[in-house]
Structures are given as structure tokens and as C-alpha cells.
Structure 1
Amino acid sequence: MRARTAVVCSVADQGVAALTNILVLVVAARLSTVADFARFSAVYLVFTVLLGVSGAYTGQPLVLRRGASDGTRGACRSAIGFTLLVSAAVGGLLAAVCAVLPGETARALTVLGLVLPVVLAQDTARYAFATLHAQHMALAADTLRLACVLGALAVQPHGAPAARLVMVWGLSALPALVLSAIALHRRTAGTPVLLRPLLAKGHLGRRFVVEFGVGNATSQLSVLGLGAVGNPLVVGALRGATTLFGPLNVLFTSATGFGPPLLGRLATDRLRVRATAALGALLALAAAGWATVLALLPGSVGRHLLGDTWPTAAALLPATGSQYAAMAVGTCGLLALRLLDPRATLSIQVVFSVAAVAFLVGGYLFAGVMGAAWGLCLGSVCKAVATWTRVARLTRRSTSGQAPVSASAVGSGP
């Protein structure tokens, strides 16, 4: 597949996956009572966390592999097998524990445990297709999943309990999983399934899971903490402002999760770094442009989107737009580090996630909600500067003949 076609398919696939998540919640909200939708949302949040952990441990190390060797094809096959086994174990444990607990939420979590292998294996297949430069197959499978899940949910009666909706949502991924399994079997047939490298001490997935936890949990919990001990409106205002930038999150996810196979086609590290820097500049411009579009929205349109939260969220747009522009640069810096030395990103993620929390709290104490928003922006700026400083050092080291850890070695033991 040509690089340009692969890029288009990869971004489109991320868009379809994001649209699926959004529409599932929208349809579930329309089908459910307020109480049942709260239960479904809680279960879906648990799934989102498990999905992030699975992608960090299995998917992200997989896409760092380069070349079309038997080892790469075998790694793709092994990743699917590993995901099925681990998700079956985790899902079985979740179902067993929740089955003896009372309440509708526990029942819905029991169902989630039963369908977990299906939904997580389908997500891992997307990483495998990206690694094998078959992004069009990921797009086809995710489009099929979107059609199946919307069709299955659409015929459910109003007032359907959360457990039933979770079951329908999970099982509707089966056709896409079957399509993915057939396509992957054709590309990986004859290669061995090796699970031991995925459990080895040096497996990069362990570091990426920590990065996922630190990067996602610290900022979320700090915002919730400010709402608990300070002004509850902080949570709504900051969440409302960031919700408006949802399309950019799709682009960021596409870059970090599925960019390495595309950039890996370039011949040298210097070319990859230049391409990543150009991508960062484009994403930063996109963030600035999107912030400008949002700032120009009429108040009636904004209230239709966010209701009474719109006035406060609109006031935060300059800070949030600047934050997302800095996040674009920092995200692409982390992508460059993943290509140069995958082990170089953990320390940056930990240090600057903590720093972002400090800036958030300090900004709130100094200037309220507006200060908190600018504090988050400052944290993103510092993280971007530190990331690209590290990229420059590794690039100079590589040029001088001291090559950093090769991404092609991902998956091997220490």
C-alpha cells in the first residue's frame, strides 16, 4: 500500500472508531432511563480503561516493529492470541466476582467480562493491520463494526437494561472480529505463536502501561480533586472545554498509536524526526484553527452543544486551544522518541504529568478556573520542550555513531 493511502486509511479508521464510541453512548442514552444510562456509562468507562491498558501493553509495542519479516508477522499473530487469553482470564474473573454481587451495575459488569475477549481482540487486530501495512483492512473491519453495533442497538426496546445493552454492544463486534481473523490468517499463516516475549521482563508494554496510567489518570484525578475540595464548576468547565476538542484527540491517537509503521518506511532516523516535526507543526496549526472556529461560534450554537456550560467553556477556549497546540507538538515529540528509543518516554511522562498537576493546582489557586486552564497549558508547553530537547540529543547521538535502542528490537527479552 502506498504511504499516502495508508495515512488516509489510518486517519479514517481512527475517525470511524471514535465515531463508534460516540454513537454507542448517544444511542444508549436514547434507549435507556437515566439510571440505566448511568450504569451503562459506568461499565463503558471500565471498558475504556481496560482498552487503554490492552493497547498500551500489546498494541503500542507491536506497531514499533519494522519490516515484513516472519518475526513481525508472528508477533501480530501472537498479539491476537495473547489478547484473547488474557482478556478471557480478566473477563472471567470480572464476571465471576460481579455475578455474586447484587444490583444492575454488577450484572452489567458481569456481561462486560463475558464479551471482553471479543472487543479487546478486535482492537488488537487494528494494531496488527497497522504493523502489516494493511490499514485498509482495519478501516473495513471497524466500518463493519460500526454498522453492526448501530443496527443491533437500534432494534432494542426503549428502557432496555444496561446488561442487555452491554451484551448487544459486545456481541455486535463478532462479525468485525471474524473478518479481521480471516484477513490476518492469510497474512500470518505459518508463523509461530510465541507468548513468552510478551511476558518477558524487558517487554515495552510494561512501560507503556505505566505511561498510560500516569498520563491519563493524574490529570483526570487532579481535575476531579479540585472539584471535590474547591469549586465543582471547575470539573464541568474544564471538561466542557476539552470536549470541544474531541476531533483533535482522534488525530493525536492516530499519530501515536498508528504513526510508527508509516514513519518506519523512511530510510533514516533523521528523516523520521523531520517528518514527525512536520506532523507536529500541522497538528498544532489544526489545533489553532479549530480553536478559532470554536471562538467564532454564535452563542446559540455553543449552548446547543454544551448547554449552560458553554459561557464558561467559551472563556477557556484561548487557554485550551493553546494547550492543544502544545499537546500536538509534545505528542509528536513522544512519537519521535518512540521511534528513536522507546524506553526514553517513561521518565518524561512521569515527570511532566506531575508537573502539569502542580501547574493546574497553582493556576487555580492564583486565578481560579482560568488559571487552572492556563496551568494545564503551561504543563503541556514544558512537556513539549523537554520532549523535543530529548529528541535532539538522541538524534545527535545517532548521527555520531552511538545508536540508541532500536525499535525493531521491540518484543525481545532484556
Structure 2
Amino acid sequence: MRARWAIASSVADQGVAALTNIAVLVVAARESSAEGFAVFSLVYMTFTVVLGVQSSFVGQALVLEREGGKNGKAGAGGSGAGPDGADATAEGPVIPSWAEPDPDAPRRPPTGVASACRSAVTFSALSSAAVGGTAALLLALVPGELAHGLAMLGVVLPVVLLHDVLRYCFAALRLPHHALLADLLRLVVAVPALVLQPDGSSPARLIAVWGASALPALLLCLALAGYRLRGARGDWRRYLRRGHLGRRFVVEFAVGNGATQLSVIGLGLVASQLAVGALRGATTLYGPMNVLYNSATSFGPPVMNRIPNLRSKLRSATSLAVLLAGTAAAWTTVLVLLPDSAGRELLGDTWASTSSLLPATGSQYAGIALGTSALLTLRVLRPESTLPIQVVFSLLSVGCMLTGYAAGGVLGAAWGLCAGSALKAAALWLRVAAVSRSLAATGPGSSGGSDGPGGTAGSGGGAGSGGGAGSGGGAGSAPAGAAPAGGTVTPGAVPAARPRSHRKPRSRPGRLRW
């Protein structure tokens, strides 16, 4: 699949998922009472937190998988031998014609990525069943609509979480259009199912219908992924081992969301409710930009991993930063030029206080665009380096917002958030520059494999000692120099080249390859 189509499918998939969430909340509000919708909102908020933890722990680590193994450390070839143990020659491995791959057959996913996807699905199924089942059993005995709604969430939790992790699997397998198809099916099923519920339905019933509506999409995902993951062997225990990247991503998620909630709480303590509403209204207007940013950070790593070298990766990241920042500026221009009548249709009375914050919020989202591109680049180059920056500058943004409010009221708070985003973006790009210099200093072969003495690194694999490496695998192990006397060749050594007049022709369809 071409990179442009993959990017378009990823963005469209995020848009459909966001539209589904909005539609579910709107329909639930219409079908339930005010008290019932309050309970439904609390249950749904609980689900979003659980979903965020799973996406960070499983999904974001999964999309960093590369062909041939985790982080690209295992080569695609593995060794210098050909299929079925055929020895390598100077012009390539000897491959019988019957062993050559069928060019018309569909491409199988790399073993490392497929194995990681199967591990992710198995772990998500086990963990969601354990957590959801325990919550359902315990909360079913507790009286109250909130407890019953949370108990029903535990029942449907395996369905919705499995559907989400399969979306990440499709991103890792470079098949985002499959995730888009599944999310479209979920949107088509979920909204009518909720609309058909009677007025005044209980929150538990709405949660049950919402969860059950994800079953067709889940079955479609399983059918599409079943063929791609056929024959792959997974190990769900990899998520419990020390050093799993998902642990860092969970901390980043907790700190980022905690800082956001802390900023709202802190502003509510020192400011009026009007200030909180104005900032929330401005953030709501930038919902489309949030969809783009989520697409970049969640499903961008597989696309960037397809870029062959470090310099091209950096150019692509810079282009993405300019594109996202330009989109944020264009969207801000549209909102600033929006007539007051249209603005009141969107936000009601909140528009009057929100419209004055649009330049500051637009600048903030331009800074977020720059930071998102840098964060994506670090996730691909050195994913363990993002946690300290996320922790420090998320808390710094809260301080900037409160300082700005103390200096200039609500408008000052908005510019404080803008300053926090700009500082975070600057720190991320400085880290990208440092990591890039480090990788460039270690040589081109270090990102994919390690060079052996006297060998040349291949693409994605380590070189053997004294021989030229193949693509993703080690070469022969004979020392550099001529073959032993007497015309004998030691096992594993590359035979000496024959004179051109005595060489056999290269392989053609139906013939041996020499």
C-alpha cells in the first residue's frame, strides 16, 4: 500500500472513531433522562480511561514493531543460507524453481510483526476478560444505577477492547484500511441500535447496547486479521516482562491526562466557571485537529518505519510538522472569520467569551503540531527518551497556565497554555537533534543490526565476519582472503568466483539461480 493511501486511511479511521464517540453520546443524551445521562457519562468516562491505558500499554508499543522483529533488531533473512538450508554462493543462494515464491500470491506479513500482533490480541483478551469479569461480579452486588452501569461495562469490556487492539494490529501490519472498514461498520450499527431504544432507558441498558453493537466490527476484524496472522506464534507474557515500552507510555498517558485535569481543577479553584467554560469551548472547536494529532502519534510509526534512512525520516518529520502547523493556522483563520451567528449555533452563549481566545488557542495548537511531529520521530528513533520530557513539560504547562491567568485573566491563561506547548515542542525537537546526532555517529548499520569485523552491514541485519551481509541476515563466516589450497572450500565459506566464460547464467523463471 502506498504511504499516501495509508496516511489517508489512518486519518479517516480516527475521524470515524471520533464521530462514533460523539454520535453515541448525543444519542444517549436524547434517549435517557438527565440523571441517566449523567450516569452514562461517568461510565463512558471510565471506559475512556481504561481504553487509554490499554492503548498506551499495548497499542502504542505494538505500532513500533518493525519487519523482522521488535524494533527491527532481527533481520528479515536471519542467516546466509537459502531456503531449506541451501548454501549461499557468490551470486546468491541456490533456490530450486519450485521453492521460489509465487508472485501472484498475497503478501504475508513479517513474522515478527505478526507474532507481536498475535501476542497483543491474546494479552488483551485475557486481561480484559479478567478485569471486566471481576468488575462485573463485584459491582453486580452493589445497589445503584452507577454500579450496575459499571458492571455492564465489565461485561462488554472484552468486546470493545479487543476491537481497539485489532485496529492497532492493522496499523502495525500496514493495513489501516481494514481498521477503517471495521470502524465504519461499528458506526453504522451502533447509532441505529441506540436510536431504537425506548425513551428513558437505563444507563446499564444503553451500555449493553453500545457494547453489543461492537460485535459485528469485532468479528470483521477477526476475520480480516485471521488470515494475516495465520501461522504466527505469539507470547502474551512479553507484556509482563521488565523493560516493556508500554509501561513508559502508560506513565506518559497518566501524566498527560492528569496534568490536563489538574489544570482544569486548578483554574476552577482560582478562577470563575466562565473562564473554565471559555477554555473548554475553545478546545472543543479544535476537535478536528485532535483527530489529526491522534492519528499521527497512534498510527504514524508504521508509516515512518517504512522510510529507509535517518535523513529521510527527519525530512518527513519536518514536513509533517509544517503541514500540521499550517493546518492549525488555517483552521484558526476559519474560526476567527466565522460570523457570530454561526459561532452561537456551535457554542451558544459560550461563543462570546471563547471567540476572543481563538488566536491564543490557535497558536497553542500550532505548537502542539510541532511537538506531535517531534514526539512521533522520537517514538520511532528512540521511544524510551520521551517519558522525561512528557512528565516535566506537562506539569510546566499547568504552571504556565496559572501564571498567565494571574497576569492577564482568561486570555493570559490561554497564552500560558500556548507558551507551555511551545516550550514542550522546543524540548522535543532538541531531543530529536541529539538522538539524530547519536545515531549518525554510530554509523548507518547501527539502527538495524551490528557490523561484524571486516563485514559490511546490510539493510536491517548484522554482517558476518569477513563476508558481505545479505539483506537482513548475516553472511558467511570464513575469514577474509583466498580459499584454502587444493581447491577445497571450508564449510560456510563463499566459493571463489569462476572466470566469466565458465559462469553459469543467472536464474530465470523455471531454472536454477546461481
Structure number, greater radius of gyration: 2
Q: Is the 8 A contact 2:439 2:447 kept in 1?
A: no
Query: 2:4 maps to which residue?
Result: 4
Tell me by how many angstroms 1:202 deviates. 0.4
Query: 1:28 maps to which residue?
Result: 28
Query: 2:257 maps to which residue?
Result: 216
1:198 aligns with 2:239: yes
1:395 aligns with 2:436: yes
1:115 aligns with 2:163: no
Corresponding residue SS for 2:442: coil
Report the count of equivalent residues. 408
CA distance in 2, matches of 1:96, 1:234: 42
Tell me by how many angstroms 1:183 deviates. 1.0
CA distance in 2, matches of 1:127, 1:207: 18
CA distance in 2, matches of 1:203, 1:328: 27
1:334-371 deviation per Cα after TM superposition (whole angstroms, max 9, x unaligned): 00001110001000000101110110111111111111
Q: Normalising to structure 2: TM-score of the pair? A: 0.78
- Unpaired stretches in structure 1, ≥5 consecutive residues: 409-414
- Unpaired stretches in structure 2, ≥5 consecutive residues: 68-108, 450-514
CA distance in 1, matches of 2:445, 2:261: 33
1:170 to 194, 199, 211: 211
Q: Is the 8 A contact 1:340 1:404 kept in 2?
A: no
Query: Superposition pairs for residues 228-377 of structure 1, below 5 Å?
Result: 228-377=269-418
1:87 aligns with 2:154: no
CA distance in 1, matches of 2:444, 2:253: 27
Structure 1 segments of 4 or more deviating over 4 A? 402-408
CA pair 387-407 structure 1, distance change in 2 beyond 3 A = farther
CA distance in 2, matches of 1:212, 1:20: 22
Query: 2:64 maps to which residue?
Result: 64
1:127 aligns with 2:165: no
The structure carrying a bigger helix percent of its residues is 1
Identity %: 56
CA distance in 2, matches of 1:96, 1:230: 42
CA distance in 1, matches of 2:294, 2:14: 8
CA pair 162-248 structure 1, distance change in 2 beyond 3 A = same
Q: Is the 8 A contact 2:439 2:446 kept in 1?
A: no
CA distance in 2, matches of 1:26, 1:228: 29
CA distance in 2, matches of 1:20, 1:112: 17
Q: Supply the RMSD in Å over aligned alpha carbons.
A: 1.5
Q: Is the 8 A contact 1:360 1:376 kept in 2?
A: yes
Corresponding residue SS for 1:400: helix
CA distance in 1, matches of 2:152, 2:296: 32
1:41 aligns with 2:41: yes
Q: Is the 8 A contact 2:262 2:398 kept in 1?
A: no
Q: Is the 8 A contact 1:39 1:105 kept in 2?
A: yes
1:195-218 deviation per Cα after TM superposition (whole angstroms, max 9, x unaligned): 111111100000000001111221
Tell me by how many angstroms 1:101 deviates. 2.1
CA distance in 2, matches of 1:405, 1:148: 48
Q: Is the 8 A contact 2:66 2:112 kept in 1?
A: no
